[in-house]
Amino acid sequence: MFAKVDGDKFTGFIVERGTEGFTQGPEENKMGIKGSSTVQLYFQDCKVPVENVLGEIGKGHRIAFNILNIGRLKLCAAAIGGARMALNLSVEYAKTREQFKQPISNFGAIKHKLAEMAIRLFVAESSLYRTAKWIDEKEHELLAEGKSFAEALLGGAEEYAIECAALKVYGSEVLDYIVDEGVQIHGGNGYSAEYNISRAYRDSRINRIYEGTNEINRLLTLDMTLKRAMGGRLDLMGPAMAVQKELMSIPDFGAEEEQLFSKELKLVANLKKAILMTAGAAVQKLMMKIENEQEVLMNIADMAIETFNAESVLLRVMKIVEQKGEAASGYQLDIMRTYLYDAADKVNKSGKDAVNAFAEGDEQRMILMGLKRFTKAEPLNSKDARRRLADKMVGEGKYCF
């Protein structure tokens, strides 16, 4: 629990069942996660021993915030586990359920659903693994500097708090997407409590609410970034001004040497420019009023989350190709290229929504032209890519990437 000592010192405590003045209400009847205990907690003149203080008096915020950071990372991991199970249930059902004398897994509409579920799951894994590795490396770095285990744990999580917030949003929304499409694949049976997919559907919904709602985490993604920029930990305006300068120059359409992943790397770099351009213009135009423009902040957060995911899946697939070779990595290449193809459009849409909310006239036209330039993706036959992914899963009977 957390409470204020002397009215202003925010502090963490361990409060044990049976403590004088501490009682609990009855179990609540919830829509999902019925295996989890949820009760109201009541404190009436509750006496907590001084040895039950967690950390230091007045330093409870460090514990609270960093518990949330690690909790958001773990929530993404838990969501990925649930999403994998729900996808496997859907693959198995699509293989066995027949319509018009054939399994529904033969139909293009079902193939599209299964493949998109797999793409989003693979991307969520990629961003999670990447961030977890960064946190682990930061913890070891802090330990080597002489920090205690607790200080290293808190420091590693704080360093990547922005990524943890983004992971919480994307992981929970991937799970929601997969269980929702899973119910759709099951058809009427998906609405029956006799099928596990209906339980997964009910259980998944809480993930967008606890550990900070997804709306709050989207706002935090930008809030923490701007605070780090204002505090000198992060240079945001320098790169943003460089992108604005680039917009005023004539693009170089000279022939580039074609190498594996050169187009994908360029696209990710351009998506970052789209974010810098949009965020920089918003900060310049709105100044201190930007914190009240939650819609704009969430648009920019969505641009950042999509771009972080795009870069994460690209880096993961580059490593897979390096290890296995291009020919043996075809399915992973399909996943990465399809996600990047779609991410470019999503970044463009979120960027336009943000820009149209704060800019007008020549400024608006210039930024929108920049968005179009920075979110241009190579043509891709995503239908065939998704069919290859779906056919592979149906053959294996499970998510297998």
Are both 50 and 102 inside the same structural domain? no
What local confidence, expressed as pLDDT, does residue 238 receive?
A: 78
Are both 88 and 196 inside the same structural domain? yes
Q: Where are the alpha helices (DSSP H) in 187-288?
A: 196-204, 214-230, 237-247, 262-286
What local confidence, expressed as pLDDT, does residue 360 receive?
A: 93
What local confidence, expressed as pLDDT, does residue 253 receive?
A: 55
Q: What is the rounded distance in angstroms from the CA atom of residue 105 to the CA atom of residue 385? A: 16
Are both 189 and 277 inside the same structural domain? no
What local confidence, expressed as pLDDT, does residue 226 receive?
A: 84
What local confidence, expressed as pLDDT, does residue 228 receive?
A: 84
Cite the active site residues. 211
- Exposed/middle/buried for 358, CB within 10 Å: 0-12, 13-18, 19+? buried
What local confidence, expressed as pLDDT, does residue 260 receive?
A: 86
Whole-structure pTM value? 0.91
Total number of domains in the chain = 3
Question: What is the Cα 79 distance to its own chain's centre?
Answer: 11
Digit-by-digit pLDDT tens for the chain (401 residues) are: 999 999 999 999 999 999 999 999 999 999 999 999 999 999 999 999 999 999 889 999 888 877 888 899 999 999 999 999 999 999 999 999 989 999 999 999 999 999 999 999 999 999 999 999 999 999 999 999 999 988 898 889 889 999 999 999 999 999 999 999 999 999 999 999 999 999 999 999 999 999 999 999 999 998 888 888 878 777 777 787 788 777 777 666 555 667 889 999 999 999 999 999 999 899 889 988 988 999 999 999 999 999 999 999 999 999 999 999 999 999 999 999 999 999 999 999 999 999 999 999 999 999 999 999 999 999 999 999 999 999 999 999 999 99
Convert 183-214 to b/e letters by CB count within 10 Å (16 or more is b).
bebbeeebeeeebebbbbbebbbbbbeebbeb
Are both 13 and 146 inside the same structural domain? no
Q: What is the rounded distance in angstroms from the CA atom of residue 391 to the CA atom of residue 383? A: 12
Q: What number of other Cβ atoms are within 10 A of residue 165's Cβ? A: 28
| Within a domain: 227 | no
Residue 265 belongs to what domain range? 235-396
Whether the Cβ atoms of residue 371 and residue 352 lie closer than 8 Å to each other: yes
| Within a domain: 292 | yes
Sign of CA dihedral 210, 213, 216, 220: positive
Token pair 């190579």 is found at: 378
Q: What number of other Cβ atoms are within 10 A of residue 82's Cβ? A: 20
Closest CA to 282 of 303, 263, 265, 266: 303
- Amino acid letter, residue 27: E
Q: What is the rounded distance in angstroms from the CA atom of residue 310 to the CA atom of residue 264? A: 9
| Within a domain: 230 | no
| Within a domain: 129 | yes
What local confidence, expressed as pLDDT, does residue 251 receive?
A: 63
Reported as type and span, the H/E element at residue 5 is: strand 2-5
**Domain-terminating residue out of 31, 54, 77:** 54
Are both 306 and 388 inside the same structural domain? yes
Are both 41 and 67 inside the same structural domain? no
CB-facing half-sphere around the CA of 49: CA atoms within 13 A: 5
Whether the Cβ atoms of residue 401 and residue 339 lie closer than 8 Å to each other: no
| Within a domain: 330 | yes
Reported as type and span, the H/E element at residue 65 is: helix 60-96
- Amino acid letter, residue 225: T
Are both 65 and 46 inside the same structural domain? no
What local confidence, expressed as pLDDT, does residue 153 receive?
A: 85
